[in-house]
Amino acid sequence: MKTKPKNQSELNYWEHLINYQKIYLVLLVILILGIPALTNYLQGEPLIRGGESYGHLSLAREISWNNFYYFPLKLVAETLPEEGLIFIQVILAVLSILLFLRLAPRLGLEQKFTFCFLALLIISPTFIFAFTTLSAYSIYLFLVLSGFNLLVSRKKKFNSFSVIPLILATFMDFFSSLLLIILLLIYLFFIVNKIDNHLFTIKKPFTFFNFKDNKKKITVINLGAVGILSIINLLLLKVPFILGPFHLQKILPDLISDLGGLSGINLFTLLLASIGLMLLWKRKNSYLFYAWLILTLIPYWFNTHTIFYLSIILTFFAAQGLLKLFQKQWNLTELKKYTGLVVILGLLFSTATYLERINDKGPSTEMVKALYWIKTNIPDQKIVFSDPQNSDYILYFSGKQSFYAFAENDPSKKELSQRIFSSLYIDELFPLLEQNQISIIYITKEMRSGLSAEQGLLFLLKNERFKIVYSSEDAEVWVFS
């Protein structure tokens, strides 16, 4: 049962796919990102989803000196209809893919690897989530790829312009800026003078203090600019260390989307990544990738919003695993075909499942209507109590402050919020609501299914001091008097 030479037609398909990968990958991006947008459009649901999107939109509405970097978003949000923003995200995704395809050969990445990596990345829930919401990391990815494309360009005049996108990328959060600095350092020490060689075959790090090379000089300038601005942003503009979180964090589901997480990666990608992790160990200079994995894994423990960076490196390992697995000769030839089929089916099913449920995440039209009702019927100074996951929607649509948002990172408020949800008696609940000037309670369908109806807040709403003032299938508004 030895391997026969690869079927010629099989080879032709593969080569065709690789040769025209630019077209196929762009089509894949449009298809994958288009499905949730089209579904929402046809169902009359908001096209923009996720707490983070509305968090940014709220900030863009009120520009001041310490969030001036939201000005481009303000401009876009005021010029385009809300639906238009989602198309900007799709365009950003397509551009990011094209930029990576342009950069890959300059970094010495093989065409096959680039295709596998990008295909796995595009179908990863992290990528889908980042580019179907207004995610800071999607813009970060686009800016970093633009910066590096300019930096590696053979036309010297373009090299200097790389500083612009790279500086802009520092406004997301401090951790992203740190990663950018590390990327620039890797570039400076390992790649810049070997730019047309293969990344894995580099033997000697380049001599640091030789500034005759234009690319080196600009990289050092970029490093300085990015470093200084990162610190300024952190200290003066109070840019967060890590953005978010915007949802209730769960370490495992946030990593593996198939366990019900908000984004994350497919179970099959994780399996392939494990194979890649084992197989890459033997390769030269591979320690950089393992170091990068650790670097992204540690912050993930504290804030799962960094899944974006973690999933990129895991997808990198997965692509390695996929190629290694199927480029090798198998003794059981038939089994290789079956395995390939199962891997493809697994990846597709996992992605399809994610696409099926991505629109379940808020806000729905009904939720938005309830929040607009609050905006028009409730005085501005009132505080709204709800699940912290709804805080960004509350602020954006109703213009009211919510009692507690995840991004506040205030343990005392978090504890108070939990106490309100779990109060067993009115003598316990009423003082908490009064002391914190909470007069509006916003309950969504998701909250109703998660909270017990027989005890806690939902049960106590039966008291005469609470009045339901708005009710629809997806949301209710209660007034506490």
Partner 1 sequence: MNKKRNYWLLGIFLAVLAVRLILAFALPNFTYESYFHLRQVEQITAIGLPLYQDSLSYGGRELVFLPGFHYFMAFFDLFLPLEFAAKLIPNLLMASLVLIVYLLSKKFSENETASLLAASVAGFLPITFTTNSFTPEVLFLPLILWNIYAFLNITEKKYFYLYLLTFLLLSITSAATVLLLIGFLIHFTLSFMESKKMNREELELTVFSLFFFIWLQFLFYKNTLLNEGISFIWQNIPQAILMEYFPKVSIPQAILLVSIIPFVAGIYMVYQSLFKIKQQKAFLLVSFAVSTTLLTWFRLIEFKLSLSFFGLILAVLFSLFFKEVSEYFSKIKKIKTTKLSSYLLPGTILLLLLTTLYPAVNSALNQELPSRGEIEAFKWIKINTPANSGAAALLEEGHLITYYSKRENFMDDQYTLIKDVDKRFGDLNSLFRTKFQTQALGTLDDYKINYLIFTPKAKERYGEETFGFLSKDCFKLIYDQETKIYLVKCELKS
- Binding interface with partner 1 (CB under 8 A): 1, 250, 252-253, 258-260, 267-268, 271, 275, 325, 330-332, 334-336, 338-339, 342-343, 345-346, 349-350, 353, 357, 452
CB 267 to partner 1: min, Å? 6
In angstroms, give the least distance from the CB of 357 to partner 1: 7
**Toward partner 1, which CB reaches closer, 178 or 271?**
271
Toward partner 1, which CB reaches closer, 18 or 267?
267
User: In this structure, are residues 255 and 310 in contact, taking their beta carbons and an 8 Å threshold?
Assistant: yes
Structure tokens at 280: 């890459």
Taking the complex as a whole, how short is the minimal distance between the CB of residue 337 and partner 1, in angstroms?
10
Tally helices (H) and strands (E) across the chain: 23, 5
Write down the least CB distance from residue 329 to partner 1, Å: 9
Q: How far is the CB of 331 from partner 1 (least distance, A)?
A: 5
Nearer to partner 1, 38 or 344 (CB): 344
d(CA 74, CA 63): 8
Rounded least distance, CB 1 to partner 1, Å: 6
Q: Rounded to whole angstroms, how far apart are CA atoms 97 and 95?
A: 5
Three-state DSSP state, 479: strand
CA distances from 148 to 155, 158, 167, 224 (A): 13, 11, 12, 15
| Nearest distance from C-beta of residue 359 to partner 1, angstroms | 14
Of 256, 267, 254, give the one whose Cα is nearest residue 301. Answer: 254
Q: Locate all alpha helices (DSSP H) within 169-286, ordered by sequence.
A: 174-186, 214-235, 251-255, 267-280
Pairwise CA distance, residues 196 & 3, whole Å: 35
Bridge partners (DSSP) listed for residue 265 = 256
Backbone angles phi, psi at 407, to 5 degrees: -65, -20
Q: Closest approach of Cβ 256 to partner 1, in Å?
A: 9
How distant, in Å, are the alpha carbons of 35, 258, 400, 481 from that of 440? 36, 35, 10, 9
> Closest separation between CB of residue 426 and partner 1, Å?
19
Q: Which is nearer to partner 1, 95 or 267 (CB)?
A: 267
Question: Least distance from C-beta 248 to partner 1, angstroms?
Answer: 12
272 vs 293, which CB is nearer to partner 1? 272
Q: Are 162 and 148 in contact (CB under 8 A)?
A: yes
Could you tell me which residues come within 8 angstroms of residue 120 by beta carbon, excluding any fewer than 6 positions away?
A: 269, 272, 315, 318, 319, 322, 347
Q: What are phi and psi of 478, to 5 degrees?
A: -115, 140
Tell the smallest beta-carbon distance from residue 356 to partner 1 (Å). 10
CB of 261 vs partner 1, minimal distance in Å: 8
Q: Do 170 and 180 touch, CB atoms closer than 8 A?
A: yes
252, amino acid identity: L
Closer residue to partner 1 in complex, CB, 6/357: 357
Q: Which residues have C-beta within 8 Å of that of residue 10, sequence separation ≥ 6?
A: none
User: In the block, which residue shows the tokens 């003032």?
Assistant: 469
Cβ burial, residue 349 (10 Å; 0-12/13-18/19+): middle
Q: How many CB atoms lie within 10 A of CB 397?
A: 23
Tell me if 438 sits within 8 A of 383, measured CB to CB.
yes
Q: Which is nearer to partner 1, 26 or 279 (CB)?
A: 279
Tokens coding 298: 């540690």
The smaller minimum CB distance to partner 1, of residues 153 and 353, is found at 353
* Maximal CA-CA distance, the chain: 79
Q: Which residue lies nearer to partner 1 by CB, 210 or 452?
A: 452
Q: Look-up: residue for tokens 């039209």?
A: 365
In the complex with partner 1, the residue whose CB is nearer, 210 or 333, is 333
Task: Give 232 or 335: the residue with its C-beta nearer to partner 1.
Answer: 335
Q: Which is nearer to partner 1, 17 or 451 (CB)?
A: 451
